[in-house]
Amino acid sequence: MSGKLHEMEPESLFKYLLLLGILHFGGCGRPAPSGAEAAPTRESLHQALDAFNAAYARADVAALDKMLASGYLHTNGASPPLGKDSWLNYVSGRRKALDAGDLVIDSYTLLDLQVRLHGRAAAVAGKVRVNGLDRDGPFEHAFRVTQLWIFEDAGWKRAAFHDGRVK
């Protein structure tokens, strides 16, 4: 299968990598964390999601960089898959648009959240609703999202993301 990854459709590739991540980071064969080592919890994941979404809404590249896994993969229907550096480059462009007033984000909300913990990994699904103003005028968009988060270095990091436009 790995020899054919470059031939897979982005959605199939994302599903394959999501499964691979869950199997790899799912905690199989790992010792229980010691008292000094932080353990992955649903609450700490929710905090990480909130922090990530706030950083994305304000296009805070430095904060997002710290919250992404080194092998981060971002896919959607509008562009080819992006790695960490390419996605952060995209966010940097959003920062410039925000600073210039070409983009205003009124709200960025993650709704209908569903979380499945798998040891040191988590699959997260939900709906993102974003409202704002761009060069074309007011907008309201909604996306279904699926995310893979991994717990490493005593914190949650987003390892993969896929979205599909709903509205």
DSSP 30-46: PPPPPTTS----HHHHH
Is residue 143 within 8 A of residue 162, CB to CB? The reply is no
Q: Is the pLDDT of residue 130 over 50?
A: yes
Cβ neighbours, 10 Å, residue 52: 22
For residues 5 and 122, the model is more confident at: 122
Which residue, 68, 67, 48, 64, is CA-closest to 56? 64
15: Cβ contacts below 8 Å, ≥ 6 apart:
none
Say what the pLDDT of residue 78 is: 85
Residue with the two structure tokens 């436009």: 165
The structure tokens listed for 160 are 């993969």
Q: From CA 165, how far away is CA 167, in angstroms rounded?
A: 6
Q: In the 8-state DSSP scheme, what is residue 60?
A: -
pLDDT in tens, 151-161: 998 899 999 99
What is the model's pLDDT at position 37? 58
Query: Sorting pLDDT into bands at 50, 70 and 90, what band is 39?
Result: confident
**34: confidence class by pLDDT, cuts 50, 70, 90:** very low
Query: What is 2-28+38-165's CATH topology?
Result: Nuclear Transport Factor 2; Chain: A, (3.10.450)
pTM: predicted TM-score of the whole model, two decimal places: 0.76
Q: What is the band of 36 on the pLDDT scale with cuts at 50, 70, 90?
A: very low
